[in-house]
């Protein structure tokens, strides 16, 4: 095939992220310097993010049979790059040296390299229009995350989380590959559109195709931690260093969900028949089990892990509907979910930084936080309100769209599960908020002064909290952006 300048413009975000990864690797080999590695990573990610603007002018464009760049891909690439930038900024504060000169005792620089490689996998994934592209992107995303979760290897929980994620993820990938093989045997094509045409031609998907789609669903549901493939989530979230848990909850899941949406919308026959019923059952189970298990948690990272299971259960409602407002609802909900998750995990990161052996993730450590760290308390309060879907926050807009999609498609059981799940969610989110404002005897009123890495992270968190509030009050720019991305994909 002939590559033109337009192809290179379309691929700019992926190419710049790849070049940044290589430059960071060479810089580490030349000289270990934490600040230099952080600076190179952020410059590269910012350039990749800015390159999406010229990319939008040449879309839609099928660059290779494996990748297509359209407005849908651009929206989710931007979301992944923003989430990665936030996680890199948090990692800089987390791994930095404290006033005592102590900090993370191992090599710090490789964390940035692994995050960049995982982000590149996410970018490939959202552009995939072929099962080979899907698998390459998914593995490029997953393999660095094994190392990221176990990065604090001298902490047994981190090591345990990394091993659990690696073993179970390998099983999920095996299911995915076997499903792809069965689907190819039936459809004779590996492209999403080819599979869609082959399945549509036969009317009802054959038993072989349904089995293949079912096995692929197992592999993808594992990555999204949907019930009953969710068992790894709380342990991995708890064990992973806080900035890594933030990456896992945001960029990683957004990339996988985006490719699932593309697969279902380009191959409409894939979302017909038995599979729709299975997805509906998984959605209800994820919403109820995720929220009920979050009720019992006294660890904030585990609570957010179970909460994320419920949130992707809500998203499945729009996927099952797959018409009308569905595309818009998915885009809006993912943007609001990423903002609030980054804010919540960001507070845990700054509470735990610089690295001191274990993260400050136990709920009792947040008791009376308002009297010690009022800014962090304000951010976490806004994030909890947004996750609960309270009006005037970004989370309310996302949840409103999902309910509207469910009502439009008359999915009453799913809407009922969403309302019930949200009611349970309000209880444990408010429990966290109440803990922040409690007064204890002999409470120390002021914390030690912050170093500059923590200040950078703090400024970013305040910006996220303001954004969550602004989008809740005036969501129109976000809605316009998401509508534009969705219409091009459908077209």
- Per-residue pLDDT tens over the stretch 27-42: 999 988 888 899 999 9
Mean pLDDT of 150-168: 88
pLDDT band (50, 70, 90) for residue 108: confident
pLDDT at 491: 45
Q: Is the pLDDT of residue 270 over 60?
A: no
pLDDT at 486: 63
Q: pTM, whole model, 2 decimals?
A: 0.92
Mean pLDDT of 222-242: 89
- Name residue, tokens 């559109």: 193
Q: Is the pLDDT of residue 268 over 70?
A: no
Tokens linked to 51: 């390159």
pLDDT at 253: 92
Helices 412-436, 394-408: inter-axial angle, 10-degree rounding: 170
Mean pLDDT of 111-132: 92
pLDDT band (50, 70, 90) for residue 283: very high
Sorted by where each begins, the domain ranges of the chain are 5-490
pLDDT at 441: 62
pLDDT band (50, 70, 90) for residue 125: very high
Q: Is the pLDDT of residue 238 over 50?
A: yes
Tokens linked to 328: 């818009």
Average pLDDT, the chain: 86
Helix, coil or strand: residue 375? helix
d(CA 223, CA 275): 18
Look at residues 59, 71, 131, 52 and name the one whose alpha carbon lies nearest to residue 489.
Answer: 71
Look at residues 293, 323, 320, 296 and name the one whose alpha carbon lies nearest to residue 308.
Answer: 293
Judge whether 96 and 354 are in contact, CB under 8 Å.
Answer: yes
Tokens linked to 234: 């709380």
User: What backbone phi and psi angles, to 5 degrees, belong to 374?
Assistant: -60, -35
pLDDT at 102: 63
d(CA 18, CA 12): 10
pLDDT at 40: 92
Q: Which residues contact 363 (CB under 8 A, 6 or more apart)?
A: 297, 298, 299, 300, 303, 432, 435
pLDDT at 323: 75
d(CA 396, CA 339): 13
């Amino acid at each position: 095939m002939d590559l033109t300048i337009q192809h290179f413009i379309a691929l700019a975000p992926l190419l710049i992220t790849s070049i940044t990864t290589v430059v960071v690797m060479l810089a580490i080999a030349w000289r270990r310097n934490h600040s230099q590695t952080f600076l190179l990573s952020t410059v590269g990610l910012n350039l990749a993010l800015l390159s999406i603007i010229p990319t939008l002018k040449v879309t839609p464009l099928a660059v290779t049979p494996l990748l297509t760049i359209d407005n849908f891909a651009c929206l989710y690439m931007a979301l992944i790059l923003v989430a990665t930038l936030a996680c890199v900024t948090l990692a800089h504060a987390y791994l930095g040296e404290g006033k005592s000169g102590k900090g993370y005792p191992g090599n710090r620089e490789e964390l940035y390299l692994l995050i960049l490689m995982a982000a590149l996998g996410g970018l490939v994934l959202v552009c995939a229009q072929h099962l080979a592209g899907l698998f390459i992107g998914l593995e490029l995303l997953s393999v660095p995350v094994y190392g990221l979760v176990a990065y604090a290897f001298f902490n047994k929980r981190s090591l345990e989380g990394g091993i659990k994620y690696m073993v179970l993820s390998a099983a999920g990938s095996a299911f995915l590959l076997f499903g792809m093989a069965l689907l190819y045997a039936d459809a004779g094509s590996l492209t999403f559109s080819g599979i869609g045409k082959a399945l549509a031609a036969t009317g009802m998907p054959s038993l072989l195709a349904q089995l293949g789609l079912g096995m692929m669903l197992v592999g993808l549901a594992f990555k999204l931690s949907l019930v009953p493939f969710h068992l790894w989530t709380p342990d991995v979230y708890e064990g992973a260093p806080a900035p890594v848990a933030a990456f896992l909850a945001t960029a990683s899941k957004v990339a996988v969900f985006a490719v699932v949406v593309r697969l279902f919308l380009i191959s409409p026959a894939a979302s017909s028949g038995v599979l729709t019923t299975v997805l509906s059952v998984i959605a209800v189970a994820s919403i109820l089990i995720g929220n009920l298990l979050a009720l019992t948690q006294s660890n904030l990272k585990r609570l957010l892990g179970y909460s994320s299971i419920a949130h992707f259960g809500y998203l499945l409602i729009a996927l099952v509907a797959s018409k009308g407002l569905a595309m818009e609802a998915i885009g809006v909900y993912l943007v609001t979910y990423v903002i609030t998750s980054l804010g919540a995990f960001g507070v845990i990161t700054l509470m735990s930084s610089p690295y001191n052996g274990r993260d400050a993730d136990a709920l009792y450590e947040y008791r009376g936080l308002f009297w010690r760290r009022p800014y962090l308390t304000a951010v976490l309060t806004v994030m909890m309100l947004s996750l609960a879907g309270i009006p005037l926050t970004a989370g309310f807009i996302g949840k409103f769209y999902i309910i509207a999609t469910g009502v439009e498609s008359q999915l009453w059981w799913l809407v009922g599960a969403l309302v019930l799940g949200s009611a349970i969610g309000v209880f444990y989110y408010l429990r966290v908020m109440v803990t922040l404002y409690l007064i204890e005897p002999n409470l120390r009123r002021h914390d030690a002064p912050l170093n500059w890495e923590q200040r950078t992270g703090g400024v970013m968190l305040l910006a996220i909290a303001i954004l969550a509030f602004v989008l809740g009050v005036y969501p129109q720019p976000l809605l316009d952006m998401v509508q534009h991305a969705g219409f091009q994909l459908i077209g």
